[in-house]
Structure 1
Amino acid sequence: MPLVAAAARAVGNDPALWQWAALLHRALDDNVAAVAAFERAARLNPNDARIAHGQALAALDLGRPATALFDRARRLAPSDGDILLGIAHARHADGDLVGAIAGLDALLVQHPGWLPGHHLAAHLRWLAGDRAGFTASLERALLAVPRDQGLWHALILLLLQAEAHERVLDAIRRGRAAAGPQLFFDANEAAAAAELGDIATADRIFAAIGEIDDMPFTVRRVRHLLRSGRIEQAAALAERWTRRPDANLIWPYAGLAWRLLGDPRWQWLEGDERLVGILDIGGALPSLDALADCLRGLHGDRQEQLDQSVRGGTQTRGVLFARAEPQIRALRAAIVEAVTAHIAQLPPHDAAHPLLGAPRPRAIRFSGSWSVRLGAQGHHSSHIHPAGWLSSAFYAALPSLEQRGAQPAGWLALGVPEPALGLELPPTRLIEPKPGRLVLFPSTMWHGTIPFDRGERLTVAFDVAPGLAEEG
């Protein structure tokens, strides 16, 4: 960053250098500087669609009105799908969810095979509360091109995300009739049957397919084995897949199987107390009340998102730590310091361990950051963050003790498997929330929250990215 910024200032009139400076600022969550650099690049080269697109994205990240900037980028590159998606995101951020959906629908009528557009349209419809019709654009497209396997693929995966397993089976039946037999249909029929508890059907289809080189399919098979009580088989299968680059998807299930079997490897995976950090950092912030007020203003949606763990609440859009509000910048700085301290006390490097085997970052980078606001009976269903390295919960505002109900209402529960697995395992650790408290834990560790009676629970969460290989 310093080298590119210095070069941009020294040369002065090179739009590419200012563009690269802006991209680096954005990667470091410094979007005020990113917007300024993009504006400089755009003045030097006003006809460059990528510069215009970057300027719009940085403004959207900051929470500034960005629809006009995306419209300008679209005039420079009318068929750029990423820009078209950006327009929908900007309209949504402006509070025009209906307009965002309508704009995508108009494009999807013209381009029924545009899968990213269908994906976003489904997520926006879900946010609008349309649980029955959230896949409407895909269903309409399949009437026009019923043999398009990509459309069937997208429809089935979205229904799986929604845990609409009966609808998954219906879509598979229709897909086979229209597009013919496909391994994808078979694999997801097995998954849906397993999630519905139809053990015999799932067994038959999983056996017919055999083992294939696909991590999500293997996770579905392990889930089925766990749910049907074949713990040793689940452990053996999961273990074989823990050496792959995408093993974060399978580690949580290996941990459950080992714990159920009394295998000491569970203790190696999750039992060391140093893996979980509890840090009270409220004193490092100017005002928790001001932070809470700032966060409340960012919760513009009224429904939970399709693919998140929130139940009875809302989650903010975009990258929270990319915003410029002073309360959020102060929180980010305090969190960077706390995360650095937590990493410093972790157990020694262990190449076989999903957390301890990853390179430790010299500079803290975040792979996602957001806020969650829960109301009465709100909670997080138990889940994992396979794209993260360290995950978190920071408590900005909480219901009173009276509002929460009997302990441990509202507490963070670690080690409880997803309820759909049907496994009777208690928490390995219960952590009491307190305003200003930050909890850190491995991203592969199951975590959720216990519902509380009433009041408001306002939190910030983020995933820390591991270090780069050369940092190790």
Structure 2
Amino acid sequence: MTHEEAQAALSGLSLDDPATLFRVGIGLLNADRPEELLETARAAALRHRDNPRLQQLLGLAARATGNSRLALDAFDRAARLAPADPLIAHSHARAALEAGEPATALFDRAARLSPQDASVVLGRIAAIAAAHSVDAAIDVLAPIVGKNALWFEGHRTLARLKGQQGLDPAESVIQALSQHPDQIDLHRELIAIRLEARDLDGADNAASIAFDQFGDQPWLAELCAHIASERGAFDQADKLFMALGPGRSLGLVAQRARHLIRANRPERAIELIEPWIENDDDRLLWPYLALAWRMTGDHRWTWLAGDERLIGVYDLGDQVGDLAVLADHLRGLHNAKGAPLDQSVRGGTQTDGNLLLRDEAPITGLRSRILEAVADYIAQLPPPESGHPFLIATRSPVRIAGSWSVRLVDDGFHADHIHSQGWISSAFYVSLPGGHDSAQCQGSEEGWLSLGEARDLVPELAPVRLVEPKPGRLVLFPSIMWHGTRPFPAGERLTVAFDIARPQQG
């Protein structure tokens, strides 16, 4: 559905026809057009304050646009009007959790109405982790997963919770395999968890066991090739990738391109990627093509990422309120012992949930000013370029896809990575070690943000730009641009980061 089609769907609606308003509104939400719907949904909910469906519609539209307070208020009204509706109860609980409100009791109520809904169970686990501790969430989830050995989403959630607490993230899957040794998806899950935990030896061992049991399965051969490359066994990876034949999917092409770049064969990577790049809707290949073009001196890299306007630096320290208050507030949200699985954090912790949806004064003030800076950044970008993965034609609405805080300590840093699911990515510095300032660390590059560098793959490739961290500084850049940080030797580095979602085109 295009913007024009959404407007046409709304134009003929009457606020006196609740059933049609709800039906058309759900259609707009399913088409990912909540911004177009929001004001009509607000007016309808105001006109029909006793209609739970229209309160629900407003809550759904508000939640989809990132207005957590409006969403929570709407779902609260809907739940009071329809106390036996399981979907409204779940949405009410979810909105409370996202807004930073106590949500465990609301999830308990949703679970009583829909006891078999796994998403309600996992929402309750997130609420327990937020209100109490990650250990408490593990204590509740572990026995549930133990009784449901083939509940893969439960295994994944438990693995991520355990990984953050320094426990074996694969324990529940290993236990399930002892009951179901022939369940191929459990073997796949074990390999995936070991890879997310960066346990290459464990992943290799799990893959070998699966190979002995199930033989030469295509999915397993892909994983074995990837593991071999990540371990530096290039000859073995070459043979495995060659045996797989021509790329069958974007995911396989991305893995093979990653291997070729790591093995210092960028020309081969370019040859592999270019026939697929027009269909790279998930932007899995562009980051690798950027590296390969730079490695070979291909001028197309300048077209892709060479414009200095793609990196924006904004000093907001005097505009976002008291940074010390914000820092104390963020520290209270870091309740894990270690980094989450499959993330770039090394030597620190990361908050759970969408941080900038929280309805708390330090967060709402930060969110407001950040979004103003994002608007300024988008306004100064180069014009749209046909075929360019970042310089797209439609650049609104601006929607926060995800946001979090990272607390790094001592030698903590971010490994170089990209965010293929975002459009614009960021780093906002809240607190730095020892009152870090420009004079103190001039020339040291301690804690600096590195853009365009992928040291794990191409250690000799210099960054496109290094940005010095300062309290109150916001850095914006394309999500497909490689980014990481230099470590500080000691102390705490506290940041907020977020992704802006790629707007629909059309």
| Correspondence list, 1:256-271, <5 A | 256-271=291-306
SS at match of 2:497: strand
Percent of residue pairs bearing the same amino acid type:
46
2:488 is aligned with 1:462 = no
Match of 2:7 in 1: none
Give the Å deviation of 1:286: 2.6
The match for 1:386 among 397, 414, 420 is 420
The match for 2:355 among 310, 317, 320 is 320
| Correspondence list, 1:128-207, <5 A | 128-130=165-167, 133-207=168-242
**Residues 375 and 456, structure 1, Cα contact 8 Å, conserved in 2:** yes
1:8-43 CA distance string (max 9 Å, x none): 121222111111111122222222221211111111
Give the Å deviation of 1:168: 1.5
**Residues 169 and 193, structure 2, Cα contact 8 Å, conserved in 1:** no
**Residues 454 and 461, structure 2, Cα contact 8 Å, conserved in 1:** yes
Give the Å deviation of 1:431: 0.8
Match of 1:369 in 2: 403
TM-score (norm 1): 0.95
**Residues 250 and 280, structure 2, Cα contact 8 Å, conserved in 1:** no
**Residues 193 and 201, structure 1, Cα contact 8 Å, conserved in 2:** yes
1:390-430 CA distance string (max 9 Å, x none): 101111122234886861111111111141x2441111111
Matched to 1:467, the amino acid is P
The match for 1:57 among 88, 94, 99 is 94
Cα distance in 1 for residues equivalent to 2:180 and 2:448 = 49
Give the Å deviation of 1:162: 1.8
Match of 2:464 in 1: 428
Match of 1:236 in 2: 271
The match for 2:112 among 51, 56, 75 is 75
Cα distance in 2 for residues equivalent to 1:51 and 1:231 = 52
The match for 1:43 among 80, 84, 94 is 80
Cα distance in 1 for residues equivalent to 2:153 and 2:419 = 22
Cα distance in 2 for residues equivalent to 1:253 and 1:44 = 52
Unaligned runs of 5+ in 2: 1-37
**Residues 358 and 466, structure 1, Cα contact 8 Å, conserved in 2:** no
Cα distance in 1 for residues equivalent to 2:358 and 2:282 = 32
TM-score (norm 2): 0.89
Give the Å deviation of 1:466: 2.1
SS at match of 2:484: strand
- CA RMSD in angstroms comes to 1.7
Matched to 1:114, the amino acid is W
The match for 1:410 among 443, 447, 463 is 447
Cα distance in 2 for residues equivalent to 1:356 and 1:151 = 41
Cα distance in 2 for residues equivalent to 1:279 and 1:43 = 44
Give the Å deviation of 1:469: 2.1
2:286 is aligned with 1:251 = yes
SS at match of 1:249: coil
Unaligned runs of 5+ in 1: none
Residues 443 and 358 of structure 1, relative CA distance in 2, 3 Å threshold: farther
Residues 256 and 245 of structure 1, relative CA distance in 2, 3 Å threshold: closer
Cα distance in 2 for residues equivalent to 1:158 and 1:125 = 11
Give the Å deviation of 1:95: 2.5
Cα distance in 1 for residues equivalent to 2:222 and 2:394 = 35
Give the Å deviation of 1:358: 5.4
| Higher mean C-alpha displacement, 103-112 vs 137-146 | 103-112
Match of 2:15 in 1: none
The match for 1:112 among 149, 152, 155 is 149
Give the Å deviation of 1:299: 1.5
Give the Å deviation of 1:455: 2.2
1:46-86 CA distance string (max 9 Å, x none): 11111111111111112222111111111111110101111
1:63-119 CA distance string (max 9 Å, x none): 222111111111111110101111211111122323322322222222211111010
Aligned residues: 466
2:431 is aligned with 1:397 = yes
SS at match of 1:42: helix
